[in-house]
Amino acid sequence: MKLSFQRAPVKSGLRIPQPSVLPAKPDLSVSARYKGSRIGGDYYDFFPITDTRMIFMLTDVAGKREEALHIAAAVQDKMRERAPELLADPDANVAEGVTKLVLELNRTIMATAEGVRSAPTFLGCLDEQFGLIHYVSAGHTPAFVKSDGEVTQLDPNGLPLGLFSHATHDAQVSVAQPGSAIVLVSKGLVETSAGRQEFGIQRVRASLEEQSFASAHDLCHDLLERAVKFGEQPSAFGPHLSLPGFRGSEPNDQTVVCLMRTVQSETAYSATA
């Protein structure tokens, strides 16, 4: 299991994203847990824009790993270049900025891939001052917000990135008050299989509803461990066999990302209001 995207050297000319750095903030617990495979290219990142506003994302670029990570590196560059320009101003229209950012990332994926390349993506902007998440879920597996024991599902609101150069995705809005947890999971985790059964979205949701977690790290660790153990169960036809090189014999990347707002943040922002 890894917490960054530091990997072995890749083919000449192909890049990899810079390691994802978990933000160190007293009022926000952030974590990511990752189990890789030979196929697919999950990429997650966190990028603080201001003291209270931060971009976070999870994308799954289709194709061979080296090529997928090369595209993810271009996405990272574009996001870190444009996000401050679109969202750093305190008076910026956040919904409009997120919408424009996703449009530019979509074009970056297609330009870097030199054609169509499916990349289901969840990109959100958390504004801690107002407790809002402006997000686009482009063909991605549902995200979740857990608050006061209730779990809200953030369903996809558009096609994956990388398919149409002029596709638009309007930003949606949700609420993440102090004490809330925002959870993203990859398609590979949801599709972890035991025989003919998948781990599935409902198991993700049930685990969030049933458990209480002290930190984002604990939540990510628990959810990934549940998926991994589920996939290790023997099927009715015998033990699960993984045959490298055979399509479908091993899962795609399994990734969990969590941002958990601490209750103390409510006091901090009330004091500055």
Least confident of 16-25, 188-197, 201-210, 250-259: 250-259
Q: Where are the beta strands (DSSP E) in the chain?
A: 28-35, 42-48, 53-60, 121-127, 132-138, 143-147, 150-154, 172-175, 181-185, 193-194, 197-198, 254-261
pLDDT of residue 207: 94
Does residue 41 register a pLDDT over 80?
Answer: no
Does residue 146 register a pLDDT over 60?
Answer: yes
Of the two residues 101 and 266, the one the predictor is more confident about is 101
* pTM, rounded to two decimals: 0.86
Of the two residues 39 and 69, the one the predictor is more confident about is 69
Does residue 63 register a pLDDT over 70?
Answer: yes
What's the pLDDT tens digit per position in 214-262?
A: 999 999 999 999 999 998 887 555 554 444 444 444 557 899 999 999 8
**Cβ burial 117-151 (10 Å sphere, 16+ → b, else e):** bbbbbbbbbbbbeebbbbbbbbbbbbbbbbbeeeb
Residue ranges and CATH numbers for the domains of the chain are 28-232+250-272 (3.60.40.10)
pLDDT of residue 253: 83
What's the average model confidence in pLDDT over 92-115?
A: 97
Does residue 56 register a pLDDT over 80?
Answer: yes
Taking the C-alpha atoms of residue 54 and residue 46, their distance in angstroms, rounded to an integer, is: 7
pLDDT of residue 236: 55
pLDDT band at 6 (very low <50, low <70, confident <90, very high): very low
What's the pLDDT tens digit per position in 124-144?
A: 999 999 999 999 999 999 999
Q: Where are the beta strands (DSSP E) in 61-196?
A: 121-127, 132-138, 143-147, 150-154, 172-175, 181-185, 193-194
pLDDT band at 24 (very low <50, low <70, confident <90, very high): confident
